[in-house]
Structure 1
Amino acid sequence: MQQPVQQTIDELVESGEELGIQVAVYRNGELVVDAVAGIADPATGRQVTSDTPFFSASTGKGVAATVVHVLAERGALGYDTPIVELWPEFGAHGKEKATVRHALTHSLGVPAVPADLTVRDLADWDAMCALIADSEPWWEPGTGTGYHAVTWGYVIGELVRRATGRPISQVLRQEVAEPLGIADELYFGVPEPELGRLARLVDAPGTAEMLAAMPADLPLFKATPPALTPSAAYGNNPTVLTSDIPSGGTMSARAVARMYAALLTEVDGIRLVPDARLREITALATAETDRMVGFPTPRALGYNLGRPGTDPQQTPTVFGMPGMGGSAAWADPATGISFALTKNRFFPGPSTAVDRIGALIAETATR
């Protein structure tokens, strides 16, 4: 797979469609693609390398979900545990029956944050959790699903903190990243001394026009203020990068592909969950119409189902998360493949790079 993937991303960079890009693929626990091309930082000309971390927006949600599953396997929490057993304050305004499963499947009914919220507010963990706990739900928990773009990470992160006594960034490092040897490539809060290693995001041409063309009355936009919607400026903001905001994450493609590979099988002796739990966490949990975006979104426990760029019904065994801007990571138990793509030319629409290279990988894997 390495040669055609490298050729494809070289073409994407040479054409100007992409600036800097990474692709990594594991198959049956072995790294089979580790391809990079282009510029990590246009101001300095620094090249992308395999260990360059990229802010990858909601691709990080799949990482946060994985932390929950590792803890569930150890008995620290259960999917049907009422959230109030760990976090009593969350039960305000009729949310007392909400469960960890509801949180993972975006079914809590608390997708919105105040319109005047700022990035600085996001960095105040306790204040954000208090705000979300005291939110009045848009629907009764468990009776519908709708993408919790910002709030999801705080709920998941606070559940992890209440169950372990540690922030989710620390649990990620100690329980997932360090055992897999990727602690310096997979982050929620990036240590400040590491910021100079990160790729710099650049808005792609047409980004502003595409955002302006989206329906202004879309519930997702009403729930998420423009200042908190991922963009190049947002993803380059040191406050965002160094804070524990697990609705998004910073990672190399190689690191997050390795994490997904360790869900599927052993990677250098490390397996994150056994087969029985893998089947449980990747089974269809909801396929209802998402109340925030208006179309059906098949979900498992913390992951979307279906390969990006395909009809989910045609690729039902694929689980993972894309990120606004063009990144994605997924795994497929049917083929033993895990895939990740990170890039720094930020575009809020469908990622042609993810679709094109993901299809190439899937086609190669079935030969």
Structure 2
Amino acid sequence: MTADTTPDNPAQRRVEAILAELTGTGEETGVQVAAWLDGEVVVDAWAGRADLAGGRPMGPETLVPSWSTGKGVAAALVAVLVDRGVLAYEAPVARYWPEFGAAGKEFVTLGQVLDHTAGVPQLPTDVTPERLLDLPAVAAWLEGQRPRWEPGSAVGYHAWTYGVLLAEILRRATGRTCDQLLRDELAAPLGVSDELLFHVPDHLLPRLATCYDGGWAARLERMPAEAPFFAAVPRAVLPVAALANRADFRRTPLPANGIVTARAVARLYAALACGGELSGVRLLSEATLKEAAIGRASGVDRTIGIPWTMGRGFVVGDASSPPVRSPSAFGHSGSGGSTAFADPAARFSFALIKNRMTAPGLDSRLVHEVRTALGLAAA
């Protein structure tokens, strides 16, 4: 699909109408939506503003911080490296990073890091944004931490440490940084080198959207002070618009987060929805993809208190109501309402990326509208 080609079908027209309404009323600031079906683009829509102060419009190539939506991108990158024999899900992390195998973590595996059962979601209680973004220092601190539970025995969302751990594992195993690997192994083969990122290089900063709060910060602040969530995400580093707009945050390659376009992440998931290949480009084998996307760990999450099922870095299915993903679909959502996933049963992928951080809800609405317009079964 070229940049000047827009799908002409009921799904595209319905999404365009919804986005025009939401951005026109100010309920949303800027939104991008993309979807693929059976290897073809079926929705490519955008509306609103990337930046209110300057009046810059949201475009299809505007880069938007999408928070943990990037965890699914990181999971896909790891799957590619597993497929090539560079990494192994069952390998102890200490194989790649010997210093990590201390304080009861010698048998923690790469797979457990990905499915959030490793038991090390915690950060220092006095962490600041500056300390969080010093990734080597946080990685060194995690080396001395004991697991909060027996690794592999329970799911507990590793909100920030997922990214810190993967960044260090990838660097140790390959000699390349996570952003270099993302570009070389995923983004470039898919033709989206400047749209699928863990950080924003200086030359792309003019394309970056500003984030705005739409009630998300207050939602997090209302959580009880004793909630386990705050051990993993201390209040100083909550995923809110103010953090996303920091220059140091934007420039730090941290694979707990993604800075993407809906076009790019939907294209990635389209390849995964079609067995690992899209438009003649094979990213990984069907066997490795199946291993990555099958549910591995289920239960009520010890960090955030919701039930879900994790694959190797992907959330599998959906326990929310109404659901965003069908039972066999896999992907990841991010703070403030962004989401992306693949549904291999329907050979369908979907991405919603937006710069006003709100409670979830728009994701399930748009997925329902798109699936209905395309004649697909409900999620």
TM (normalized to structure 1)? 0.95
Worse overlay, 160-169 or 121-130: 121-130
1:98-117 alignment runs, 5 A limit: 98-117=108-127
Deviation digits for residues 276-300 of structure 1 (CA, Å, limit 9, x no counterpart) = 2222211110112211122321111
Match of 1:257 among 256, 266, 272: 266
1:210-359 alignment runs, 5 A limit: 210-265=219-274, 266-307=277-318, 309-310=320-321, 315-347=326-358, 349=359, 351-359=360-368
For structure 2, the 5+ residue unaligned runs are 1-10
Three-state SS of the structure 1 residue aligned to 2:103 is: helix
1:126-165 alignment runs, 5 A limit: 126-165=136-175
In the other structure, the counterpart of 2:5 is none
Deviation digits for residues 300-354 of structure 1 (CA, Å, limit 9, x no counterpart) = 110112258546698211100000011000110011111101111112x3x2211
CA contact (8 A) 2:308 2:319 kept: no
CA contact (8 A) 2:34 2:352 kept: yes
In the other structure, the counterpart of 1:95 is 105
2:155 paired with 1:171: no
Match of 1:34 among 1, 24, 44: 44
> Following the alignment from structure 1 to structure 2, what is the Cα–Cα distance between the partners of residues 315 and 167?
34
> CA shift at 1:5, angstroms?
1.0
CA contact (8 A) 1:160 1:166 kept: yes
CA contact (8 A) 2:64 2:353 kept: yes
> Following the alignment from structure 1 to structure 2, what is the Cα–Cα distance between the partners of residues 313 and 127?
37
> CA shift at 1:157, angstroms?
1.7
> Following the alignment from structure 2 to structure 1, what is the Cα–Cα distance between the partners of residues 218 and 165?
33
In the other structure, the counterpart of 1:54 is 64
Three-state SS of the structure 1 residue aligned to 2:113 is: helix
Three-state SS of the structure 2 residue aligned to 1:297 is: strand
In the other structure, the counterpart of 1:125 is 135
> Following the alignment from structure 2 to structure 1, what is the Cα–Cα distance between the partners of residues 131 and 138?
7
For structure 1, the 5+ residue unaligned runs are none
Change (3 A) 1:94 1:333: same
Worse overlay, 317-326 or 302-311: 302-311
Worse overlay, 164-173 or 303-312: 303-312
> Following the alignment from structure 1 to structure 2, what is the Cα–Cα distance between the partners of residues 305 and 149?
17
Three-state SS of the structure 2 residue aligned to 1:26 is: strand
Deviation digits for residues 2-58 of structure 1 (CA, Å, limit 9, x no counterpart) = 111111111111222101000000112211111000001001101011010100010
Worse overlay, 351-360 or 94-103: 351-360
Three-state SS of the structure 2 residue aligned to 1:158 is: helix
Three-state SS of the structure 2 residue aligned to 1:76 is: coil
> CA shift at 1:159, angstroms?
1.6
1:64-103 alignment runs, 5 A limit: 64-103=74-113
> What is the aligned residue count?
364
Three-state SS of the structure 2 residue aligned to 1:24 is: strand
> Following the alignment from structure 2 to structure 1, what is the Cα–Cα distance between the partners of residues 373 and 96?
45
> Following the alignment from structure 2 to structure 1, what is the Cα–Cα distance between the partners of residues 57 and 176?
35
> CA shift at 1:260, angstroms?
0.9
2:215 paired with 1:202: no
Change (3 A) 1:307 1:17: farther
Residue identity matched to 1:234: L
Residue identity matched to 1:328: T
Deviation digits for residues 62-81 of structure 1 (CA, Å, limit 9, x no counterpart) = 01111100000000011101
Worse overlay, 49-58 or 206-215: 206-215
Worse overlay, 209-218 or 43-52: 209-218
